[in-house]
Homo-oligomer: A and B are copies of this chain.
Amino acid sequence: MTTTTGRPASTPVRPPVRALAPHPDRLLPADTGLRDLARSIYQQVSGAPIYSPHGHVDAAVLAENRPFGNPAELLITPDHYVTRLIHAYGVGLDQLGVNTPDADPREIWRLFCSHWHVFAGTVVRYWFESELSEVFGLTVQPSAETADDLYDQLSEQLARPDFRPRELFDRFNIAVLATTDDPASDLSAHQLLAADPDFTGTAVPTFRADRYMTPNVPGWKGFLEELAAAADIDTGSYAGLVEALRNRRAYFKQNGGTATDSGTADAYAIPLPDAEAERIHRAALGGSVAPDEVVAYRRNLLYQLAAMSAEDGLVMQLHADVVRNYDQASFAAYGPDTGHDLPGPATFTAGLRQVLNDFGRSDTFRIVLFTTDETSFSQQIAPLAGFYPSVYVGAPWWFIDTPAAISRFRAAATDSAGFGKTSGFIDDTRAYCSIPARHDMSRRLDAGFLAGLVATHQLGEDEAYEIAGDLAGSVPVNTFRLEKYVRS
């Protein structure tokens, strides 16, 4: 038996079963006066359609509309937010099914439930409470005692037709869902969905060229070949790679895409002379590229992607400054995205100077900056977005996508840049069934923030309602150029 914090128990008595009943006022301000206004603002937007302009749901899931698998496969194993914290209490990632296909899903679920208490106070706990209650109708909290019952209930539901991906898509009231896709993808799933009269929502692809940008990663040559095949353009030269990327951007745009994404080790985007880029490209193909050349190559390509955005108007998302695959042994055993990527210091102001000098005042170019370094909201991102028409403040990302941090973000960004240059909420999730809970969290927090401005007489009450509506609707639509997908 363990305590709430996961330590050896200091008190032996503990109720085995706690009710799962998310409060209708959760996350609204504690102060009664503020709460009443916040609730009213929230209620106005709580049912608004969801625009999800960045995330990691696979379009094929919707196109095929097969029932989801077991609870562990759906809710635990692929979600590194969940697995990393259980791992932090000494549980191996293999025990949680990561890169371990033969792990018993019920055992994984039991491990999750017996660690439920370690999530107390975290956003993962918050999302799960909403999701398990509102999507799956569970009524008791996970625990060692309740694990099996919950597993059975979830399994039963997941087998039902109304729990298939498309049915949930409708139930979640998703207006637009952006996926994340490799440039070599044929986007066939998107095409199937677009052609399917039964699918009334919108799923748009997002062009993410990361794997071509660091020419010393294993498999880089093969990636180039896949891209060449998709574009029917030889990528054996740097010029060819750039041309193939341009070609595929157009293809993504034809297939409904409005944005790209880049996830890079830093935000530096510095053009190289073509000959130098060409030289490094050839050296990399030859297998002999130096670390500083890899960096220069990547930073040049980031600049080229910005230049292409200034041409084709695809909105450039930049998720920068993350230390990837920090733990080499975990990476070797479990692969990427398994919980040991870590925040690095933000480098936007210094890194993007050339890009913004060249394209920052262009009407076509647009860039949304996402950070894991919250000091950059008041110190880099809001100041940039408050001058450059092209720059938008991305919603708090990874590690800071939590109630407390989102509130700090609004306070840090709004007073210099206002609301209209922020991106709207981004769920950025692999956890499909958590999408409504995440957007709902954001709407609650924005309602509370707006209520605070009204209560301190910095904003009129009518404006607060209007801005809340904008933040859920016109703000993400405008930022990500989704106007054509707005339901009338």
Binding site for B on A (CB under 8 A): 3-11, 14-15, 18, 22-23, 25-34, 84-85, 87-90, 117-123, 125-126, 323, 326-330, 339-340, 342-345, 349, 353, 356-357, 360-361, 363, 372-375, 378-380, 382-389, 391, 399-400, 402-405, 408, 411-412, 414-421, 452-453, 455-460, 462-463, 466-467, 469-471, 473-475, 477-478, 483
**Nearest chain B CB to A450's CB is how many angstroms away?**
8
Q: Report B-chain residues with C-beta under 8 Å of the C-beta of A361.
A: 327, 329-330
Known: A27-B457, A380-B343. A7 touches B420 (CB 8 A): yes
- Expressed in whole angstroms, the Cα–Cα distance for A30 and B38 within the complex equals 13
List the B side residues contacting A3 at CB < 8 Å: 466-467, 469-470, 474
Q: Assess A34 versus B30: contact at CB under 8 Å? Given A88-B385, A466-B14.
A: yes
**Contact at B27–A417, with CB atoms within 8 Å?**
no
- In the complex, are the beta carbons of A405 and B399 less than 8 A apart? no
Chain B residues contacting A33 (CB-CB under 8 Å) are 30, 32
Residues of B within 8 A of A29 (CB): 456
Q: A374-B378, A404-B411 are in contact. Are A383 and B399 (CB under 8 A)?
A: yes
A431 to chain B, nearest CB (A): 16
Rounded to whole angstroms, the CA-CA distance of A470 and B1 in the bound complex is 14
Q: Which of B418, B473, B475 contacts A85 (CB 8 A)?
A: B418
Establish whether residues A459 and B121, one from each chain, have CB atoms under 8 Å apart when the complex forms: yes
Q: List 11 A-B contacts (CB under 8 A).
A: A4-B467, A5-B420, A6-B418, A7-B475, A15-B462, A27-B457, A31-B31, A85-B386, A89-B389, A117-B463, A374-B379
Structural contact, A120 and B7, CB atoms closer than 8 A: no
Cβ-defined contact, B399 with A378, below 8 A: yes
